[in-house]
Amino acid sequence: MRAQDFLTVRDLSREEILETFVIALDMKANRSKYADALKGKALALIFEKPSLRTRTTFDIGIQQLGGYSLYLSPAEISLGKRESVHDVAKNLERMVQGIMIRTFAHQVVIDMAKHASVPIINGLTDYSHPCQAMADFLTIQEKKGELKGLKVCYVGDGNNVAHSLMFAGARLGAHVTVACPPGFEPNLTAYKDASEDARATGARIEVVHDPAVGVKNADVIYTDVWASMGQETEADARKKIFRPYQVNGDLMAKAKKDALFMHCLPAHRGDEVTDEVVDSPQSVVFDEAENRLHAQKAIMYQLMK
């Protein structure tokens, strides 16, 4: 990995993503081998949004690499309000060797990377969720062997997770279809960027409005909550709009027989996915969640060593 920061999957080439996967799988199989890889190094964890998986995997991950973390809550930081992003960056760069940020506006991570001399890792923004996509495609590679030519169908809101799946699929040569209601398509810039990247690998990036069409011949069906953090006031209205996009047994049956089911979690069971699907043998949601740990350890190792 040559990048100084990890803000979106587009920061990495296909070769760099695959190299990260090799390291992640080696770390998964040989944890003790990397026990001192980041010995004595500190990672600041800035959280403007709550988290289970991001908090746990970065906290445990840096410790398993011999380093340690410092959790900074919204009350302590309040980026851009209590203190400017510039000043937070200039303070932290003198005290830690890496910064992970989970926030709302993507511009925050861009600005932090601009001002801080230490690596910045995007733990989630409203635009991009790159660590999740790395764990997702690592999991698909584990289960399917080959990524190039596979079809991933994301069903639901064209949000940050959809963007990162498109970016990763385009880099890796996997086809990504987003099946969403009209008016809830992915960001146009994200779609154009992914489509441009896809030309180099033969991937296909497409948006459809019929979930049955989207999942046809899919190797992976992926979904996310219908209302993300910050959209709680829209939840009831979104339920009505997205109801036809629920991933249930009938929709899974329209994909390939051996299609995987994936979800970045937390899942709202009975809304975007049924218990029948999320608890089925086709579901790899907990393998996917575990792989957040291994993928992020590989990212931290490459950026902070």
Cα Rg of the chain, angstroms? 19
Do 41 and 297 meet the contact criterion of CB atoms below 8 Å apart?
Answer: no
Active-site pick, 10, 53, 129, 294: 129
Q: What are phi and psi of 223, to 5 degrees?
A: -145, 170
Tell me, what DSSP letter sits at residue 5?
A: -
Active-site pick, 180, 292, 294, 302: 292
Active-site pick, 102, 163, 171, 238: 102
Do 47 and 161 meet the contact criterion of CB atoms below 8 Å apart?
Answer: no
The DSSP element (H or E) to which 90 belongs, if any, is helix 85-92
Do 150 and 174 meet the contact criterion of CB atoms below 8 Å apart?
Answer: yes
Do 104 and 159 meet the contact criterion of CB atoms below 8 Å apart?
Answer: no
Q: Is the peptide bond before 266 cis (omega within 30 degrees of 0)?
A: yes
DSSP per-residue codes, 142-207: HHHS--TT-EEEEES---HHHHHHHHHHHHHT-EEEEE--TT-PPPHHHHHHHHHHHHHHT--EEE
Active-site pick, 64, 97, 132, 296: 132
Query: Is residue 129 flagged as an active site residue?
Result: yes
Query: Is residue 302 flagged as an active site residue?
Result: no
Query: Is residue 292 flagged as an active site residue?
Result: yes
In angstroms, rounded to a whole number, what is the distance separating the alpha carbons of residues 256 and 145? 16
Active-site pick, 197, 264, 271, 296: 264
Query: Is residue 102 flagged as an active site residue?
Result: yes
Query: Is residue 180 flagged as an active site residue?
Result: no
Active-site pick, 5, 136, 224, 271: 224
Query: Is residue 153 flagged as an active site residue?
Result: no
Name the region of 280 (left: φ>0; alpha: ψ -120 to 50; beta: rest): beta
The residues annotated with a catalytic role in the active site are 102, 129, 132, 224, 264, 292
